[in-house]
Structure 1
Amino acid sequence: MSAAERNDQGTDAEASVVDTAAPRRKHPIGAIMLLAIAAAALWGSSRLTWVTVSSTDGLTEPRTDHLNGGVWFGALTPLALVLLAAIAAVLATRGWLRRIFGVLIGLVAAVTAVPAFALLTKSGATAARAATLAELPGRATVTEVVTAPLPAVLALLGALAAFTAGVLLARMPQEAAQLSGKYDNPVFRRAAATEQVTQRRAEDAAAGANSASGQLSERVLWDALDAGTDPTEEAGPPRDDQGKHAE
């Protein structure tokens, strides 16, 4: 077997491996699962009671208000829906666009973690905020504020899962981004086919071959035709040969 034949077989085998590997890298299953877990955690946290506030106004019976996550942090449920929508966006995007979505998901996760972290560390004016959200009358006095750590921890876990998913998407391997752009975008695919045809013509011209069409896969041939390049066109003779013919 000649060296040229071995190179051709190696090229075909490499193309076959790339074609079969591309679908496997098409959907980042790990990131998608983390986004689903994060959305579920945020939705569950929004239904649980974060703060219980007891108050009295001296005129009526003492009252107790239970503030769930949706009330304490109004964006909690919308952010859970955003993460669900992000799953569809990840499935619909490839390459660098998917990496950009990863960065945006990381920012959403950071925003989600702030209220839960503030509640757990008691770094905010919890009593005043509870009185405002409970819509207590101006004469009312807050007698007790009880915070529940479990919903805040659940929200933090959801934010952590979303942040990890964003990091996985933003740090997608470069070769995966190239494969996605090359094999999913017709423009890149046709440009790559034209480049392969041009390169093979140059190699065949140097080796004295007549045509490069028989050494390229059918997919590359069709993509080259779509790009306006005729892969069956014979390569011209080298310049030295042209000079000799002219003489």
Structure 2
Amino acid sequence: MSERKAGRRATGIAALLLALAALCLWGSSRMTWVTVTSSDGLGVDRVTELDGGTWAAATTPLALVLVAAIAAAFAVRGWVVRVVGVLVAVVAVVAALPALGLLTGGASDEQAADIAGFERVGTQVVATEVATAPALLVLLGSLLTLAAAGVLVRKPAATGGLSSKYDSPAARREATARRGAGEGHEQPRTQRMLWDALDAGEDPTDDGEKHPGAPGTRPEGD
């Protein structure tokens, strides 16, 4: 398998992992993380369900960041791909922290009252119930995100990115100069190379030799 094909395959795998991770985070943000039972001493106890978007407010934005990372994985190339991989790994860690804290330490009454917005004097938290499934779903999404980050970091640097038609004119002129210096004239030029040469102000039909009768040449014997 060529390096270019390997790079495209790596990008596809990373994009799939990021899509699944974003789906996990988004789904968890819609699920109930903590159920809070409170009482104000005046009536029946009140039950409040706190979903992931409320208990861990960063869950939904981080899911959107992962979606943006999918586009970035296809758009960038070279060392920038590794930067995207590192940023994706950071997102994985940030997303996992609230879930780990909930699974290991539970939900305290003070934290539940603060997040639920119990500002009314006399309202007290009677009980809290933690749901483990949403937190485990976030951890699964974090693991998938870390796997995608690893794929991006190890992706061949010379592959990936958008087509050369999205490069700036200066970048295309530089690429044309490199091809002219390193490839020689014995190799056929593609249509893309011809257009790049025209854009760089060069004559793609000029082979560097003077032909009899051509402008600027003198007949032999003069």
Q: TM-score range by the shorter chain?
A: 0.7 to 0.9
2:180 to 158, 179, 197: 197
CA contact (8 A) 2:109 2:128 kept: yes
Q: Secondary structure at the match of 2:128?
A: strand
Query: Greater Rg, structure 1 or structure 2?
Result: 1
Provide the residue aligned with 2:97 in structure 1. 114
**How far is the alpha carbon of 1:151 from its aligned partner?**
0.3
Matches within 5 A, 1:73-92: 73-92=56-75
CA distance in 2 between partners of 1:100 and 1:142 (Å): 45
Contact 1:41 1:158 (C-alpha < 8 Å) held by counterparts? yes
CA 1:58–1:182: 2 relative to 1, 3 Å = closer
Secondary structure of 2:159's match?
Answer: helix
Asked if 1:98 is matched to 2:98, the reply is no
Where relative contact order (Cα < 8 A, 6+ residues apart) is larger, the structure is 2
1:61 deviation in Å?
1.2
- TM-score normalised by structure 2 residue count: 0.76
Structure 1 stretches of 5 or more lacking a match?
1-16, 201-211, 236-247
Aligned counterparts, 1:17-166, within 5 A: 21=4, 25=8, 28-122=11-105, 126-136=108-118, 137-166=120-149
Paired-residue identity, %: 42
Q: Which runs of 5+ in 2 are unaligned?
A: 211-222
Change (3 A) 1:75 1:225: same
**3-state SS, counterpart of residue 176 of structure 1:** coil
Q: Which residue of 2 aligns with 1:218?
A: 189
Task: Give me the whole-angstrom Cα distance separating, in 2, the residues matched to 1:154 and 1:22.
Answer: 32
- After superposition, what is the alpha-carbon deviation per residue over 1:103-161, rounded to whole angstroms, capped at 9, x for unaligned? 222211211111011111117x6321111122223312222111111100101111221
| Alpha-carbon distance in 1 for matches of 2:124, 2:193 | 80
Tell me the CA shift for residue 41 of structure 1: 0.5
For these two proteins, the number of residue pairs brought into alignment is: 202
Taking structure 1 as the reference length, the TM-score comes to: 0.69
- 2:213 aligns to what? none
